[in-house]
Structure 1
């Protein structure tokens, strides 16, 4: 129906009182929605302040910033049209506009939730490095793209466009793209998991199988590690995440176990005194916690004592300094007590030659 005919039909079939009633309904619905928004925002903000609830604070923020007055106007216009005799085509258009407005409002709220998730990721994870920020932003962009694509499909459907073929085409295209870039997507989601879960961060010293080094960069597809020998090791994110990773940067203390062997000629009294001597030597060091010292076993080359202690720091250099002082003190005390260290000695017996007949 042409626009002049629609206007003529509206004017012909509706009395003045119906137009007045429609105007009152429009103003009442619009003002009611706006008032409900203001009251709801104030109450949610007050409750969030009283209970320190992050969810209430988020709801108040979304209601205040993401509620669109244009949506209120479209809904009020549709409500007002119910008081009038409206031609079928116009009534259908107004109903479709109301549905589109509702979905648009939902999209605005969803976009606000995505923005809140990005802000929270930055806030809870601290100052993200550029690679981490890129991954978070990329995921947020993908979420927004999916959200607005769904809204666009709803809008097209409500304006009378058949979207069945379009949805089927998008599905086939999506499957083809997913198959083509499945490795890239796997690495991308692995990067997101690494950034959010943080099994390691840039600067951590990690061991992956036979490889070890310091993490230099966490990228969208690969992770770069600088090995102890100087070369750069490159791992795909998915492969690294599926591996057993030992993160030495997260170590809080080191457990040290070492052995000392003394000669079989050592007298019993001195053997019995060695564990207490070893304990005294270890406990005299700073930043250590003694665990045990025992006469562990008889070996081919001597009598073996096992000592276990903890260094209360992950610093490898500190551990080596402490171990060096312990070794020197053991050598000094053994020398003073006349205790000989065991040496790998073998006794070989040679049969004498037969006397010449």
Structure 2
């Protein structure tokens, strides 16, 4: 049986530069810290999950996912590193332990960032899948590029901490990236255009937009192009970069529709009836629903008509509703003007024909011609 004296002598025996009791203390501290960190992780994850179930916030989901993403090997590595600080180890060994700790932190940061990015994309896809499936595809692709960039940066940092010179690799990647960017600048322009459309949302699926001379309903917002369905039925495909360079008119977001229409009456309209026309126009517009009357004026004198201009607002963006209202106005005006004896104008020209005078010395005129010329008057011809 080993006595206490021999046991103490054994514990004080040096091993790899440290007494066995120091090794035992370091191992105990590492194990205790590992158990404590694991316990803290479990309690924190459970508590955050309960709070998130109660309040259901996006921030709560991100915090829960961040705690869950911490790996067991990371906790073990941190515990062993803290335990090693209680020992007097050679500089080379401490350098290795420091490097391993830094690499563990970098890898854990990459895993946490990857998990959070995946959660954000998953939540966005779940919310937008039914209403805007095209933007889901775009965001998923951008998420992949984001994760790729994250792991690339972490990989370079890991290599640098392992003592590998990454300057040449970074330079090569930079030159290669410039070459790829120059070769695919149109594709990258469309890609960033797609990102701008998804984030800024100048339009979404189902909106009716006008881009220059093209117009149609948005069917798809892709990574490179946006697809429209025109009124005639054909599909119009426009690159995202060209789309954002143009002025986009989004008719779907119209709150109300401003209508301007004009009518003309003949110059033979009596002044009293002419003065009453503005009132008639106001009445017929105000009788419509849902409409807000703005103005009706005798605008001016046209080449063949006395012109009136009417402005009103349809309190809805629905084009069919506007056409129904305008049709009622037109039919009412046609009937009312017929009852009041007011004539609509149409393009006409009045030509006055003057008789040509002849010299008596040039041609002798007969008695019949002379009588006829004395009775001639200017003739008026209406075309």
Distance 1:187 1:334, change over 3 A: same
Query: Residue 25 of structure 2 is aligned with which of 13, 21, 28?
Result: 21
Deviates more, 1:98-107 or 1:33-42: 33-42
Residue 222, structure 1, aligned to residue 228, structure 2 = no
1:128 & 1:106 partners in 2: Cα distance?
34
Deviates more, 1:325-334 or 1:243-252: 243-252
For residue 101 of structure 1, report the CA deviation from its aligned partner: 1.1
Taking the TM superposition and a 5 Å limit, the aligned residue runs for 1:302-313 are 302-313=305-316
**Contact 1:40–1:60 (Cα < 8 Å) also in 2:** no
Deviates more, 1:265-274 or 1:332-341: 265-274
For residue 73 of structure 1, report the CA deviation from its aligned partner: 0.7
Deviations 1:104-145 (A, max 9, x none): 221122112212331343255453555432221111111111
Deviations 1:149-195 (A, max 9, x none): 12222222222222222222222222222222121111112112223
Cα root mean square deviation, aligned? 2.5
2:68 & 2:87 partners in 1: Cα distance?
33
Deviates more, 1:99-108 or 1:221-230: 221-230
Distance 1:118 1:63, change over 3 A: closer
SS in structure 2 opposite 1:326? helix
Distance 1:137 1:72, change over 3 A: same
Deviates more, 1:288-297 or 1:75-84: 288-297
Unaligned segments of structure 2, at least 5 residues: 1-12, 361-383
Deviations 1:293-321 (A, max 9, x none): 12222222222211111223322222222
**Contact 1:41–1:64 (Cα < 8 Å) also in 2:** yes
**Contact 2:293–2:311 (Cα < 8 Å) also in 1:** yes
Deviates more, 1:213-222 or 1:76-85: 213-222
1:289 & 1:158 partners in 2: Cα distance?
72
2:14 & 2:282 partners in 1: Cα distance?
101
Distance 1:10 1:250, change over 3 A: farther
Distance 1:133 1:126, change over 3 A: closer
Deviations 1:219-277 (A, max 9, x none): 22122223333433221110011111112222232211111112222222222222221
Query: Residue 150 of structure 2 is aligned with which of 140, 147, 150?
Result: 147
TM-score computed with the length of structure 1 as normaliser = 0.88
1:201 & 1:288 partners in 2: Cα distance?
28
Q: Give 1:236's aligned residue.
A: 239
Aligned length: 348
2:343 & 2:79 partners in 1: Cα distance?
99
Taking the TM superposition and a 5 Å limit, the aligned residue runs for 1:262-273 are 262-273=265-276
Unaligned segments of structure 1, at least 5 residues: 1-8
Q: Give 1:11's aligned residue.
A: 15
**Contact 1:259–1:304 (Cα < 8 Å) also in 2:** yes
**Contact 1:41–1:63 (Cα < 8 Å) also in 2:** no
